[in-house]
Amino acid sequence: MRLLLSVLSPVLSLTIFGLCPTLTIGPKEGWQVYSSAQDADGRCICTVVAPEQSLCSRDAKSRQLRQLLEKVQNMSQSIEVLNLRTQRDFQYVMKMENQMKGLRTKFRQIEDDRKSIIARNFQELKETMDELNPLIPVLEQYKMDAALISHFKEEIRNLSGVLTGIQEELGAFDYDELYQRVLRLDSRLRGCMGKLTCGKLMKITGPATIKTSGTRFGAWMTDPVASTRNNRVWYMDGYTNSKIVREYKTMDDFVSGAVSRTYSLPFKWEGTNHIVYNGSLYYNKYQSNIIVKYSFESGSVLAQRALEFAGFYNMYPYTWGGYSDIDVMTDELGMWVVYATNQNAGNVVISQIDPDTLHVLNTWNTEYSKRNAGESFMICGTLYISNSHLSGAKIYYAYSTKDSSYEYIDIPFHNQYFHISMLSYNARERALYAWNNGHQVIFNITLFHVIKTDDDS
Ligand SMILES: *[C@@H]1O[C@H](CO)[C@@H](O)[C@H](O)[C@H]1NC(C)=O
Ligand SMILES: *[C@@H]1O[C@H](CO)[C@@H](O)[C@H](O)[C@H]1NC(C)=O
Ligand SMILES: *[C@@H]1O[C@H](CO)[C@@H](O)[C@H](O)[C@H]1NC(C)=O
Ligand SMILES: *[C@@H]1O[C@H](CO)[C@@H](O)[C@H](O)[C@H]1NC(C)=O
């Protein structure tokens, strides 16, 4: 039963529907939100699946949820309108911000007035509103559509209206309904903040070819924890016997070939699975299982540490070889290194490491043969492994470090230039960077999210 859908804008869309009989989600498990950072038009796509139990059970929650659903269904009518026009108006964003500020002020007043009676409830409400505030800049960032903004604005005005009513007539209000409304607003806004939440890989689109340069094997990357203004690109051609890292100020400079700095590392690298994280390069030192942390700013090695038992020098490379034994990676949850050991029979081992000291924090042994892995990357604590570096490669295996479980999956991607020697997830860009046979390409990804909303009230 598809109940509801979609608030759409050129940059943000939200699809809400309930799936009564088919999904088994506990009432506590919150909303499930499918989202991709962007679709072809640059929109943030979210699909919210309402929790089943609350929707279908006959308890008090079902009434609230029906209202919620009805509300959103009402909103879906504005979608048609939203779809028709693409006007953007930042004044609406500003007004919305003022509305929110006004609403908060109102909450404070009410809280003062009614301290003894309903202070606790209002404290909760106020906190929810406070949580909404950080969303304002995100909304701006997404350049939200004027009509959508005005809708939120109206909703907030309605909330304000209810609050005014409360001020006038103590006791005669439906606190529950009010609270639900705030929660709804909160969860809708939150729902589309795909960039802030984690999820499971659903789809890989692209690639977009950024540049054609270098040899068949190499690495290139951006820094996932740099500020959004810092878009430096690093470029490391070749998989062995080299120390030269090129830096570009921007992606455009990278495309045009305007190098801003060239670094000569103290040690040569091996493989192509290097990363830049918070201004430092992490890479596998030549003919060893040592990981090196090199600071671009100081030009010095800040840490280096051997990865115990890790095979190196083509003992356990990815399918394409190239001394790709040791793969350093980062995701939303931190820094990881993927390798194989004799102890684990050459199967993939995952260790979470401390980005400062390179100490191993935790280790997981999988049963996937490293030599049969095309490449791998980590998203939200789950390792995804492709089955080949050649045409027809797909993401074939996923290992969740959260519950130490694995599953075989089948997520195809377009290996446009037939040979992949690097595939690396960048959490800031929500994208996979790849070295595709002398082409530097980017894939977009779609994630399935579970967003926790506290829908007890
Ligand atoms: C949905 O719209 C109808 C008609 O405009 C209105 O009567 C109803 O109260 C709305 N539902 C919610 C939950 O706002
Ligand atoms: C706001 O309230 C008005 C009047 O009660 C109603 O028609 C409108 O649908 C509400 N808007 C939203 C977004 O809830
Ligand atoms: C990925 O998304 C970005 C932003 O919308 C877009 O510019 C880019 O073309 C997309 N790339 C691919 C490979 O789809
Ligand atoms: C990045 O490095 C700076 C100092 O060099 C530190 O303050 C900050 O916490 C680091 N950020 C992350 C995400 O590690």
Model confidence over 155-175: pLDDT tens digits? 656 665 655 555 454 444 455
**Is the Cα torsion angle 15, 17, 23, 24 positive or negative in sign?**
positive
Tokens 């609270």 map to which residue? 179
Superfamily in which the 204-446 domain is placed by CATH: Glycosyl hydrolase domain; family 43 (2.115.10.20)
Mean pLDDT lowest for which of 163-167, 351-355, 366-370, 419-423?
163-167
pLDDT for 144 equals 45
Ligand 1 within 6 A of 71 CB?
yes
The residue whose CA has the least distance to atom 8 of ligand 3 is 208
Ligand 2 within 6 A of 155 CB?
yes
Give pTM, 2 decimals.
0.61
Ligand 3 within 6 A of 199 CB?
no
The residue whose CA has the least distance to atom 10 of ligand 1 is 71
Enter the tokens of residue 397. Answer: 């295996």
200: pLDDT confidence band, cut at 50, 70 and 90? confident
pLDDT in tens, 339-357: 999 999 999 999 999 999 9
Query: In the chain, where are the structural domains located?
Result: 7-196, 204-446
Compute the distance from residue 99 Cα to the ligand 3 centre, in Å: 34
Compute the distance from residue 377 Cα to the ligand 3 centre, in Å: 19
Average pLDDT (424-429) is 91
Contact 329, 336 (CB under 8 A): yes
Ligand 1 within 6 A of 78 CB?
no
Q: Which atom of ligand 2 is nearest to the CA of 71?
A: 14
Contact 222, 426 (CB under 8 A): yes
451: pLDDT confidence band, cut at 50, 70 and 90? very low
Ligand 1 within 6 A of 70 CB?
yes
Average pLDDT (304-332) is 97
| Binding pocket residue ranges, ligand 4, CB within 6 Å | 225, 278
Nearest to 204 by CA among 445, 392, 385: 445
Q: Are strands 44-50 and 12-18 parallel, antiparallel or unpaired?
A: parallel
Cα Rg of the chain, angstroms:
25
